Structure 1
Amino acid sequence: MTAARPDDSLGGRAGTPDEATQPDAPTLAEDLLLLLFQPDSGTIAGENTLFYILAGAVVADLALGDHVTTADRGRVRAVEGHAPPDDLLRSAWDYVSTKPRGVQTVLAAIGPTLRAPLLARLIARGDIDRGDRKVLGLFRTTTLREGRSGRRAALLGEVRRVLVDGAEPRARVAALAALLSASGTLPQFHRDIPWTSPVINRAKELERGNWGAGAAGEAVTRTMTAVIVNSVVVATTVLPRS
């Protein structure tokens, strides 16, 4: 397994533009979970609705890889004969391959089991370190710390360039920034990504699939990703209150 260098451009699935084609490349959901990890506290932002957020990243990853497409009434349909090589993505693809399903249905079905395996992958890659400490000198509790790979800083820098500096993103970075915005956790990144009106407006544009010419790609993919991100917004803001 090849570790991503901290200064790599993140146009692909991980630290290099071409890494998305590698069998062991990090998924979009791994990148999103790594961004949501807060090194100062050792916690993960958005825990209450995390499974919706991670599920959205999985479906978006399938869409960006042309493994799924849209069916009637905005449902998700698997592209026959084009299963993803990644086991975690394959499980989600298998679920929608039986019949087209609504995005909310897919998020609810695949989301609850994602956190543990995704976190395990990040720990195995050295992006996050797992340790333990004593509480009150008696009880041991598990702690999470940022690893030494530098990949979180590189991801955050790429998202910042898109949201703050107005750089035109590649499709994967656009989807990552849109999902981060949809998660409702962007205010927690204020130190690195100032929570300003231009940033908010830019993030909302990405949520709607307005990525710019450089990340245009297929119109169907952009539209589908926007549908997925909108479903994440609904899931994280409306459903928890209902």
Structure 2
Amino acid sequence: MPIEEDFTEALRTTLLTFEPPNTPSLVQAGVRNGRRRRRRRATAVGVSGAAVLALGGLGTAVVPGLLPDGRTAHHTTAGPAASATTGSATASATPKPTFTRTLSADRALATLTALLPSGLTHTSPPGGRQSGQLWVDDGHGKSLLEVHVSRQTSTTAIRSHVFAGTTPLADGTLIKSRQAPPGTGPGHTAVNVLHPDGLYVTLMQWQAPSQNSPSTPSTPILTLAQLRAIATSSQWQ
């Protein structure tokens, strides 16, 4: 006997054997409650049947659920083939790390300090020990230096964006220098170096104590040639 008929028969038997109290409203409420339950059961059976048909015919069915805040979410239940496709898509969409390690700011600053020309004083700005920043002063004002060093495992994106159009040196090293146009804020120079083994050094100089301050020295403390010499030093290896 189908489940709907089982439920209906059980409900009918219960109602026949039930002796209602003298209050007619209680009887009517019980009948209404039984009808609601029967409709819910019928609806549940219909939904289950539709889900089975969808699984058999399409291989995938969307099953609604509720998020903790009460909003409706949809989860996909897939067959073996669909699961394999979904897994591959998820794996390919997951970004892979592009570097194996980054030189700590303390070590990078220690190397940078050792490579500075003589005659300069240097101090650490607030937060500089964590961000790889250093103040240098030639007696005419402070400039901000910033250094980042990492070991890249994939250099495709860096080559196509940072070093686009750059001719490598004989050993395969790429060097790219950039200078901010005059009138666009404090003087700013950056040198990027990418070695064939994936070692990537970025050295930046602002002609001011901070990135947003007016230029303090009339000329950059470190010339472009000096910045390139520091960034290409073998001490970063």
TM superposition score normalised by structure 2: 0.24
Q: Which has the higher strand share?
A: 2
Q: Which has the higher contact order (CA 8 A, sep 6+)?
A: 1
Q: Which has the higher helix share?
A: 1
